[in-house]
Amino acid sequence: MVKSLIDSFWHKQEELCRATAAGAEADVVRLDSEIQPLLNAILEVRCSDPCARSLQMVFLADLIRAHAQDASLVIDHADRLEQLVRRDAVTDSRSSGAGRSERVGEGGVEQIGIDLVLDALPDRVAIITCDYRYLYSNAANARHLGVKPLQLIGRHLVEFVGETLFADRIRGHLDKCFLGETADYVTTREFQGRMIRRRCRMIPFRHAHGSPIVGAVILLQDLSDLPAVLYAA
């Protein structure tokens, strides 16, 4: 059932894209009204089969990838993913007893959802502590650095960016971020005859709202294939 609903959703999405490109306003309105109920139906299905649950998770991850450039949609889909993980965790804990419930406590459920969301993003994401060490890396960032995400934890940023780049550019932005400021800048360099452009954004990281800053979230977006006019300040 879940698979057929997901297939119908993506079919409607393709029709919507074609209608939008053709300027068929009536079709756009109709398809848009049909897509939201399909999305709700996919997420409302309570699956006892692990494979069907995985389809729901993968579906939301695909949605996040498809809308990666729209922050509001990413947040909406992330919220849906977290709700799905919470719901399934509660179901599992009821069917498996207290031991299971203890293993998927509130923080654990949130972390599962967060990891799924961040690993679905095409951009590189990392959390750096106030002593410039990796606290977290998503799959895209680890893949770029040629290691597994867990192999980055606790290692100093200098190991991967070099002392010169760290001292000349990165450290200053991080230090300001640790004091509560944000950073947003574009870097350009030549590598093997190709111009590499990246947008770097840094925001302060707290374990909870109102708690002290314990690091910085770094988001790195590859802009190499985009015309400079699209991201110039």
Given a cut of 90, whether residue 62 has pLDDT beyond it is no
**Dihedral angle of Cα 162, 165, 169, 170, to the nearest 10 degrees:** -20
Residue 126 three-state SS:
strand
Could you say which of 100, 120, 140 is where a domain stops?
120
CATH code of the domain in which 209 resides: 3.30.450.20
Please check whether residues 10 and 115 belong to one and the same domain.
yes
On whether the CB atoms of residues 202 and 173 are closer than 8 A, the answer is yes
Two tokens at 223?
């802009």
**Domain's final residue, options 120, 147, 177:** 120
Domain extent at residue 81: 2-120
What's residue 93's pLDDT? 45
Instruction: Give residue 56's pLDDT.
Output: 77
The identity of residue 158, as a single letter, is V
My answer on whether 104 and 193 are in the same domain is: no
Other Cβ atoms closer than 10 A to 126:
24
Mean pLDDT of 175-180: 94
Q: What is the pLDDT of residues 182-225, one digit of tens each?
A: 999 888 877 667 777 888 999 988 866 677 888 898 988 887 65
Please report the pLDDT score of residue 109 as a whole number.
Answer: 41
Q: Tens digit of pLDDT for each residue in 80-137?
A: 766 666 665 545 444 444 444 333 344 444 454 556 666 667 788 888 999 999 988 8
3-state secondary structure at position 187: strand
Check whether residue 101 and residue 140 sit in a common domain.
Answer: no
Q: What is the pLDDT of residue 101?
A: 39
How far apart are alpha carbons 9 and 31 in whole angstroms? Answer: 10
User: Do 116 and 15 fall into the same domain?
Assistant: yes
Q: In the chain, how many domains are there?
A: 2
Q: Which residue has the higher pLDDT, 127 or 226?
A: 127
Instruction: Tell which of 91, 120, 149 closes a domain.
Output: 120
For residues 210 and 170, membership in a common domain is answered with yes
pLDDT of residue 11 exceeding 70, the answer is yes
State the pTM of this model.
Answer: 0.52
CA 148, 121, 59 angle in degrees (round to 5)?
A: 110
